[in-house]
């Protein structure tokens, strides 16, 4: 087709360019203009279209959204086949550069490590061991998910494409990789520690997350759901179901010890504490999952409804999943259609199930002997961030001078380098709402080594008329930054003469 294509009505363009190939196992060559005006040529398979937009599936598994008006040419032809793991690994190495990229292939997974700088001498073996550990965990995810679908009698297929897991050593690189994928979602990369993209089909993680694998497991379940033929990517799947099935799995230091049929300690406590979010509202609209005030409740309710269906309404759950599996890429559903799907499959209204939920959950908690978590002592705070773990003990000390409450914060603790790859320099800040910040600089801390954060005190703002309501107080948060020891950032911290006296041990 020629350049006059952009003048055609959008629906005519869709019929000509996209609709004929949807669902066919063939890949054509498309030539289109990207948003910058650059001419792009790709071999791709059409997997969906709607309202002037087409979804093209590339050989590496990426879904690329292309406006019909931007397409300049389409040549119908066979192939290509999905990339092999070694081909995909080579493509990623070209993207990130050989010096900064390491990978292993453990079908169906391709594990990639994006480094923040050249590895020091002797670190190649550590990088390889890290990737093998992540590969072993992902194999466990694959096995756990396979057991779940088999027990639930859910039809699943092997993944068509290699499943890519990208691990970023640097938090900045991680956030930069996410920014283009979050447009319009209302989310900030700073709020996220792991991410599965339905566009790229990649599971993206911070290196921080390769210890407990808690976030990694949640996102890996999303990747399994959309690659094992349970649901179609970019289809109108209710957010509660998407998150409900993922929250059903929990990790403990790399072990997968909770599945969707068992009670989740985390979400059971939340559910039993009560929720103001109606299940029906959560089912027909996704807004609660992007609203800070209720997002925690939304995830808890999503887990609760999914758990209830899996454990008490198994056949209805299978029918509901079958209906969701028929949803097409880029299609849209109305709230009324969502509710009709649920009622038609389950035979009950979601709010009716919500009323039944708490007694059923309470019985399951007693039967499964779910224990409450161990609570930290007062004044203790822990923070994991940027490959550092800070453990602080914070005490507010008060003294009275007339009607004025004189107060200060006393604090001390430890900082551990969690990196399995290299020494790092850390800058630790305790920000307090009622006084000055407390800071430590920990230079060139060894792998898995800890340093003492020496005792420091800082005064709080005095308040007159001190008493139960006038006593100086406030909240605090811990921030941890890390950098390569010989980097410009580390030198800037050192030249800034931050309070230190942190001693390795």
The rounded mean pLDDT for the chain is 87
Separation CA 425–CA 445 (nearest Å): 6
Please check the confidence at residue 2 and state whether its pLDDT lies above 60. no
pLDDT score, position 373: 62
Q: The domain 85-230: what is its CATH number? A: 3.40.30.160
Read off the pLDDT band of 258 (50, 70, 90). Answer: confident
* Angle, alpha carbons 333-334-335 (nearest 5°): 120
Residue 59 half-sphere exposure toward CB, CA atoms < 13 A: 16
pLDDT score, position 467: 47
Asked if 312 contacts 364 with a C-beta cutoff of 8 angstroms, the reply is no
Can the peptide bond before residue 301 be classed as cis, meaning omega within 30 degrees of 0?
no
Separation CA 429–CA 409 (nearest Å): 14
Quick one: tokens of 145?
A: 């998910």
User: Where is pLDDT greater, at 396 or 363?
Assistant: 363
What CATH architecture is 380-504? Sandwich (2.60)
Say if residue 153 is exposed, middle or buried (CB neighbours under 10 Å; 0-12, 13-18, 19+): exposed
3-state helix, strand, coil in the chain (%, to 5): 35, 30, 35
- Please state, for a pLDDT cut of 70, what percent of the chain lies above it: 86
pLDDT score, position 188: 73
CA distances from 500 to 380, 438, 448 (A): 21, 10, 20
- Please state, for a pLDDT cut of 90, what percent of the chain lies above it: 68
pLDDT score, position 20: 42
pLDDT average, residue stretch 178-194: 75
Read off the pLDDT band of 57 (50, 70, 90). Answer: very high
**Range in 77-91, 202-216, 250-264, 332-346 with the lowest mean pLDDT:** 250-264
pLDDT score, position 474: 60
Quick one: how far is CA 193 from the chain centroid?
5
User: Where is pLDDT greater, at 96 or 405?
Assistant: 96
Can the peptide bond before residue 459 be classed as cis, meaning omega within 30 degrees of 0?
no
User: Where is pLDDT greater, at 273 or 202?
Assistant: 202
Please check the confidence at residue 3 and state whether its pLDDT lies above 60. no
pLDDT score, position 500: 46
- Domain residue spans of the chain: 3-75, 85-230, 236-248+260-369, 380-504
pLDDT score, position 24: 47
pLDDT average, residue stretch 410-437: 90
pLDDT score, position 504: 41
Q: How many residues does the chain have?
A: 505
Q: What letter does residue 264 receive in the DSSP assignment?
A: -
Quick one: how far is CA 139 from the chain centroid?
19
Please check the confidence at residue 121 and state whether its pLDDT lies above 70. yes
Q: Which residues pair with 432 in a beta bridge?
A: 476
pLDDT average, residue stretch 103-111: 96
pLDDT average, residue stretch 181-210: 85
Quick one: tokens of 267?
A: 């979400």
Separation CA 284–CA 293 (nearest Å): 19
CATH class entry, domain 3-75: mainly beta
**Range in 84-88, 170-174, 402-406, 499-503 with the lowest mean pLDDT:** 499-503
pLDDT average, residue stretch 267-281: 87
pLDDT score, position 497: 52
Helices 335-346 and 314-325, axial angle in degrees (round to 10): 140
pLDDT digits (tens, 9 = 90+) for 126-175: 999 999 999 999 999 999 999 999 999 999 999 999 999 999 999 999 99
Separation CA 405–CA 495 (nearest Å): 36
The closest of 14, 151, 153, 133 to 70, measured between CA atoms, is 14
pLDDT digits (tens, 9 = 90+) for 388-421: 999 999 887 876 666 556 678 889 999 999 999 9
Separation CA 257–CA 251 (nearest Å): 6
Quick one: how far is CA 9 from the chain centroid?
39
């Amino acid at each position: 087709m020629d350049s006059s294509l952009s003048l055609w009505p959008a629906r005519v363009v869709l019929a000509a360019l996209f609709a004929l190939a949807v669902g066919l196992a063939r890949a054509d060559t498309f030539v289109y203009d990207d948003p910058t005006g650059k001419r792009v040529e790709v071999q791709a398979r059409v997997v969906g279209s709607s309202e002037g937009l087409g979804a093209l599936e590339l050989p590496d598994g990426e879904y690329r959204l292309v406006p019909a008006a931007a397409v300049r040419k389409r040549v119908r032809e066979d192939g290509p086949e999905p990339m092999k793991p070694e081909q995909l690994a080579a493509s990623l190495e070209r993207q990130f550069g050989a010096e900064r990229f390491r990978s292993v292939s453990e079908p169906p997974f391709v594990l990639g490590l994006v480094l923040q700088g050249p590895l020091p001498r002797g670190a190649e073996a550590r990088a390889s061991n890290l990737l093998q550990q992540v590969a072993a965990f992902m194999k466990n995810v694959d096995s756990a998910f396979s057991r779940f679908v088999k027990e639930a009698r859910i039809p699943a297929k092997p993944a068509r494409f290699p499943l890519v897991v990208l691990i970023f050593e640097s938090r900045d690189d991680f956030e930069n990789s996410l920014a283009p994928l979050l447009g319009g979602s209302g989310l900030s990369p700073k709020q996220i520690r792991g991410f599965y993209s339905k566009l790229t089909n990649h599971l993206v993680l911070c290196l921080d997350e390769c210890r407990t694998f808690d976030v990694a497991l949640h996102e890996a379940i999303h990747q399994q759901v959309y690659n094992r033929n349970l649901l179609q990517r970019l289809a109108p799947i209710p957010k509660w179901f998407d998150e409900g099935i993922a929250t059903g799995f929990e990790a403990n230091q790399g072990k997968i010890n909770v599945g969707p049929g068992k009670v989740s300690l985390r979400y059971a406590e939340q559910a039993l504490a009560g929720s103001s979010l109606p299940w029906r509202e959560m089912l027909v609209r996704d807004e609660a999952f992007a609203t800070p005030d209720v997002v925690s409740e939304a995830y808890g309710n999503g887990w609760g409804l999914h758990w209830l269906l899996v454990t008490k309404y198994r056949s209805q759950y299978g029918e509901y999943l079958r209906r969701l599996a028929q949803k097409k890429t880029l299609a849209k559903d109305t709230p009324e259609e969502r509710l009709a799907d649920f009622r038609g499959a389950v035979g009950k209204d979601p709010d009716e199930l919500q009323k039944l939920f708490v007694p059923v959950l309470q019985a399951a908690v007693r039967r499964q002997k779910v224990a409450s978590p161990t609570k930290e002592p007062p004044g203790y705070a822990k923070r994991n961030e940027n490959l550092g773990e800070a453990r602080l003990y914070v005490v507010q000390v008060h003294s009275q001078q007339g009607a004025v409450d004189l107060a200060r914060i006393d604090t001390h603790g430890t900082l551990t380098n969690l990196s399995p790859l290299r020494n790092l320099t850390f800058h630790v800040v305790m920000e307090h709402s009622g006084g000055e910040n407390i800071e430590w600089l920990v230079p060139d801390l060894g792998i898995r080594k800890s340093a003492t954060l020496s005792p420091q005190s800082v005064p709080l703002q005095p308040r007159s008329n001190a008493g139960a309501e006038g006593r100086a107080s406030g909240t605090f948060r811990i921030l941890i930054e890390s950098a390569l020891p010989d980097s410009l950032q580390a030198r800037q911290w050192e030249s800034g003469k931050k309070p230190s006296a942190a001693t390795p041990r």
